[in-house]
Structure 1
Amino acid sequence: MIPAKIEDVFLQLTTSFSGVIKNIVAGKFANTTFQLQDSIYINCPFLEGTLEALTISEPFTLEGMVIISDAKEYNVDIELFKYTDEISVLIHNRTNVYKIVDQLNQNRNDIFFIKRELAEKNEELKKLREIADKANEEKSRFLAMMSHEIRNPLNVILGYSEMISEEEINENVRKYSKLLSISGNNLKVIVNDILDLSRIEAGKLELVNTPINIKEIAENCVENYSYQNKNEAVELFFNAENNIPDLVLGDHVRINQILSNLLSNAIKFTQKGKISVDVKKVSEDENAVKIAFLVSDSGRGMTNLQASKIFDEYQQNKKSDNRVFGGAGLGLSIVKHLLNAMNGKITVESKLNIGTVFITEIPFSKVKTSEIKELKVEEKSTNKTLEGKRILVADDDALNQTIVAHILKKEKVVLTQVKDGLEALNVLKKSIFDLVLLDIHMPNITGEQLVQQKNDFHKSNKEIPFLSLTANTTIEDIERYKKIGFVDVISKPYTAVEFVEKVLLNV
């Protein structure tokens, strides 16, 4: 027995050699169209000439033919078999199959064109990405160059401001010197923020993971800002819970940068009252601990709309903020980027004219016992001094030379100064030194070229430390300087304290 559904899609019949229908064998498809004693050519004109040409006992198939039944067109396949006295005709209704095949073919064609379009778009995107990467590289080079060009005169501005403040001067001059120093430091912050943001956007932000003391970093940061805060109407407080681990793995510089940005922001917008930094443990397990830093102030506060935009780049809540408080509105944006890189988060709670609380949460890995044993804590020797040390300084900028001379002569060093790399090379061949400070960009022989010519130095100078004096402060630059022979880098602009500490560390 043939299933009904199958019977609906085929019709089997027999004809004479001349095409007259002799018998309807099976099937229901188009059975009203084909009648006994009718010529099969009426509905299948394409069979004329075919039936007569058939070879006995050899099957023959026609695919994709069209017949009309009850005023409808059908796609059919026809199988023919010639016996000695009759011809068997099997008609398959393949209309739906052919529709599906047509659709599949159309889909295949569509896919082909989509693939070709995707390939073209990918090639276009590749070119656009190359253009964007090149533009990013150009921007980074431009920012690095501008940073260098700004940092050099900025070093002179801050250096001479510090020198003036040490002189016996009247109060007006002291006030002007202080304002000059504040403006210079504001400019320094802007330059650092722009470079940091550029590094983050270029995907070049690198975090170190070393054992650090969270409470110590936070407390030192608060103490530093307590010293800088000249507004007696504002008090700074610090509090840390006792259950904070002594050591965790993290990036000392970036943690300090986050807290410094938040504290600086709080001090800017708090005219009276208090600012506090609280360190709390949020959660802890066997391998990690999550620490929260809360920076609270009783400043002017923000509306909900202002708070929602505060982490956007170049954001200032009031147009006058930039003129009054300085900065480029990048600090909080950089804080958010840094926290994202640390898998941390920051939220803000604020009420207008009441105050603001910034809450940062950062997960830290715990320090293993083996890592604690391997940790070498470098303690600064209080007895270490530069007095009597023979130091050579090579710098083609006379103003920078004056600042360096002022700092080092106060330390009672035996100072030799030259104005370019060639003079420094000649001196290094003859005289013996304890330490050499080289500006990177000098005429005749650059600092980079000179440090690589140690074979030409006096034998006693081949092993002494060389420090780079430079305004090129990117991580890539510093790594390159250390690779070619510098033991450390003194970045411009620097304060007298920073300069002496770096020299003492390496002498």
Structure 2
Amino acid sequence: MEKINILIVDDRPENIIALEALLQRDDINIITTTNPNEALRISWEMDIAIALVDVQMPEMDGFELVEILKSNPRTKGILIIFVTAISKETKYAVKGLNTGAVDYLYKPLDPYVTSAKVDSFIQLVRNEREIKKKNHELEAYQKELIKAKEQAEQGKRIKENFLANMSHEIRTPINGIIGLANLLGRTNLTAEQKEMINLLEISSDSLLGVINDILDLSKIESGKFKINRSETDIVKICNSVVNLLRIRAIEKELDLITEFDAELPKLVLADSLRLNQILMNLIGNAIKFTIQGSVTLKTEILDRKGNNLQIKFSVIDTGIGIAKNNIDKIFETFEQADEQTTVKFGGTGLGLSIVKNLAKLKGGVLEVISEEGVGSTFCFTNWYEVLKDTVVVKKMNKPHLGPFKGLRVLVAEDNPINKFLIVKILKDWEVNPDVVENGKDALDKLRESDYDLILMDTFMPVMNGLDAIKLIREGFIKGKENTPIITFSAAVLETDKQTAIDAGANDVVSKPFELEVLHEKITRYSGIADTTY
């Protein structure tokens, strides 16, 4: 235990000896002096907690000594107890207390009272020091928390910037590949060439799926992932997923089987996109890790409560299975069951992590039963509200996208492939496009000519699209403030899209874009009648 320093100041040595005898104990250090000036020096140099000061002393009395101690920031915290043989009149006590003393001891000293008072003040000092120590620890901990929070926020910003940049850098060339494949698919091709175009589109979609998986994980972690429920045909969802993945099963000579509960309703309230995502990941995973045999998607009703059904989706395979000690590991981000799995079967290790997070967000339960070398069963169970059948309007095949005769459009795009792609599409729609490669050139071109619409890429050298849009909206070019502007963005985070709208863009088209989406937006903002049929 840390010792407490107690200073005794008295001009009579015999009084000091008497006080020392009363106060002597192991947990305190007693420092004594008969000289008030020496007392000031000791108080300045040493950590004095309590001072017992005689009132009547030559040269400087106790009141004057205490006034000096209390006026100095370094010594003002010392607890002062006056020791006096003078009258116990109130005026003397008030004077001492006003000077800064906390108590009085009257001579002749009562040993019990003296010891009790000093003990209580020693305990008070210890409590204050403990509180001060805890406060320092709390302040240090608070600083560490603030620092950790700042580091976490910085890490989050770095991660978001990385994802935004990665999204842009990868989505931009994918947009070119998908767009060019789409244009090639509209030309006269042999059957073999059409098959190659089809494979090119499948490969591009697969790469795009990996990027979307990473972005979905980021949205889930940041709490920005939303579940949107609407009327959903479960059988139709299941069949569409199976049909999309059937080609992979055929390539591996696997049986892809569906089993539906006979009492499944026609429509339920569900987030069809996320249910589709869960089933795609589970079935795709099962096909990947099954060398021979079958993969089965089974749906069954487990329970009913009023108008709600508990439905279980099971994906059963005869694949390689998972060792018991690796089952928890497979749901971790970027993890596979073991290194050999990655080498032999490939994959990012994102699919099951996303399924786990989606299941949790949807309020469902994800379970897995597996035996190494025999196969695995992944089950997703959730409650769904049953909806009455509604009239479904059948959608036509891809609509014919009519021309925009005479429409003048300024295109700002620096990527040569995307530039070629957009110009080719616009010319097919009989648009008159002018093309520039950055925001500065777009402003110069807009100053020279009038345009019905501007298509502006977000990220460009010299001046990016957002800065150019802000200048246009602020009246940098007189009379052009209200020109409709649609931005192309390879970023898919909601914050990125909102940033473009806040800058002044009328709308945002995400890369890779669908022709129907671009056509509809041009129709909406150019004021030309819809030419889709």
The 3-state SS of whatever aligns with 1:116 is helix
Match of 2:323 in 1: 303
Aligned partners of 1:342 and 1:363 also within 8 Å:
no
Distance 2:506 2:394 in 1: 19
In structure 1, the partner of 2:139 is: 119
Contact 1:386 1:504 in 2 (8 A): no
Deviation (angstroms), 1:123: 2.0
Deviation of the 1:393 alpha carbon = 6.8
SS at match of 1:472: coil
Q: Would you say the 8 A contact 2:426–2:433 is kept in 1?
A: no
Match of 1:267 among 250, 267, 287: 287
Write out aligned runs for 1:138-157 (5 A). Answer: 138-157=158-177
Partner of 1:471: 490
Aligned mates of 2:506, 2:291 — CA distance in 1: 44
- Secondary structure (helix, strand or coil) at the match of 2:339 reads coil
CA positional deviation for 1:360: 1.5
Q: How do residues 268-347 of structure 1 correspond to structure 2 at under 5 angstroms?
A: 268-285=288-305, 289-322=309-342, 325-347=345-367
Using the TM superposition, name which of 350-359 and 123-132 deviates more: 350-359
Q: Deviations over 1:140-188 (max 9, x none)?
A: 11221122112212333444455567664695x8887676655544433
Question: Residue by residue, what CA displacement relative to the aligned partner does 1:295-348 show, whole Å, maximum 9, x if unpaired?
Answer: 222322222223231101111234354455443211211221222233333111
**Distance change in 2, residues 1:195/1:223 (3 Å):** same
Alignment of 1:195-210 (within 5 A): 195-201=215-221, 203-210=222-229
Give the distance between the partners of 2:195 and 2:343, measured in 1 at CA. Answer: 19
In structure 1, distance between residues paired with 2:366 and 2:289: 19
User: Contact 1:187 / 1:327 at 8 angstroms: preserved in 2?
Assistant: no
- C-alpha distance 423-100 of structure 1, shift in aligned 2 (>3 A): closer
| CA distance in 1 between partners of 2:398 and 2:172 (Å) | 32
Relative to structure 1, the CA distance from residue 138 to residue 221 in structure 2 (aligned partners, 3 Å threshold; closer, same or farther) is: same
Change beyond 3 A, Cα 1:227–1:321:
same
Residue 503, structure 1, aligned to residue 503, structure 2:
no
SS in 1 for 2:491: coil
1:212 maps to 2:231: yes
Equivalent of residue 192 in structure 1, options 212, 215, 221 = 212
**Segment drifting more, 150-159 vs 116-125:** 150-159
1:398 counterpart = 2:419: no
**8 Å CA contact 1:244, 1:281 repeated in 2:** no
C-alpha spacing 1:222/1:156, structure 2 compared with 1 (3 Å) = same
Whole-Å separation in 1 of the counterparts to 2:344 and 2:277: 22
Per the TM alignment, residue 291 of structure 1 is displaced from its structure 2 partner at its CA by: 3.5
Match of 2:370 among 350, 354, 361: 350
1:419 corresponds to which residue?
435
SS at match of 1:130: helix
The 1:153/1:490 distance shift into structure 2, 3 A limit, reads: same
Tell me the distance in 2 between the aligned counterparts of 1:134 and 1:399: 35
Distance 1:66-1:356 versus aligned 2 partners, 3 A rule: farther
Tell whether the 8 Å contact from 1:189 to 1:327 is kept in structure 2 after alignment: no
Q: Given residue 173 of structure 2, which amino acid in structure 1 is its aligned partner?
A: P
TM-score by length of 1: 0.64
Pair 1:441 & 2:452 matched: no
Q: Note the aligned Cα RMSD (angstroms).
A: 4.8
Matched, 1:246 2:289: no
Counterparts of 2:519 and 2:210, CA distance in 1:
27
| Matched residue, 1:33 | none
- Could you list the per-position Cα deviations for residues 348-382 of structure 1 after superposition, in whole angstroms to 9, with x for gaps in the alignment? 11223332211112345x4899xx99xx9997566
SS at match of 1:266: helix
* Match in the other structure for 2:526: none
**Aligned AA for 1:476?**
T
Secondary structure of the residue aligned to 2:403 is coil
Between the aligned partners of 1:278 and 1:363, the Cα distance in structure 2 is: 16
Is it true that 1:135 corresponds to 2:118 in the alignment?
no
Cα distance in 1 for residues equivalent to 2:340 and 2:211: 20
- Structure 1 Cα separation of the partners of residues 419 and 215 of structure 2: 26
Q: Label 1:506 to 1:361 Cα distance change in 2 as closer, same or farther (>3 A).
A: farther
- The aligned amino acid for 2:402 is E
In structure 1, how many angstroms separate the alpha carbons of the residues matched to 2:194 and 2:341? 26
What amino acid is aligned across from residue 389 of structure 1 in structure 2?
F
The structure number with the bigger radius of gyration is 1
Task: Name whichever of 106-115 and 267-276 sits farther off.
Answer: 106-115
Shift of 1:119: 2.8
- Counterpart CA distance in 2 for 1:134 and 1:471 is 23
Matched position secondary structure for 2:327: helix
Q: SS at the partner of 1:414?
A: coil
Number of residues of Structure 1 aligned to a counterpart in Structure 2? 411
Structure 1 stretch displaced more, 468-477 or 162-171: 162-171
1:190–1:327 contact (8 Å) kept in structure 2: no
Distance 2:397 2:287 in 1: 33
TM-score, normalisation: structure 2: 0.61
* Structure 2 unaligned spans of 5+: 1-84, 89-103, 524-533
C-alpha separation in 1, matches of 2:461 and 2:87: 100
| CA distance in 1 between partners of 2:479 and 2:253 (Å) | 59
Residues 80-119 of structure 1 mapped to structure 2, 5 A cutoff: 109-110=129-130, 112-119=132-139
Q: Distance in 2 between matches of 1:388 and 1:53?
A: 111
Once the two structures are superposed, residues 218-249 of structure 1 have per-residue CA deviations (whole angstroms, 9 ceiling, x without a partner) of: 4433333336655272343344433447232x
Question: CA–CA distance in 1 between the matches of 2:478 and 2:308?
Answer: 51
- CA shift for structure 1 position 213: 0.9
Change (3 A) 1:132 1:182: same
d(CA) in 2 for partners of 1:363, 1:54: 88
Name the amino acid aligned to 1:419. V
SS at the partner of 2:274?
Answer: helix
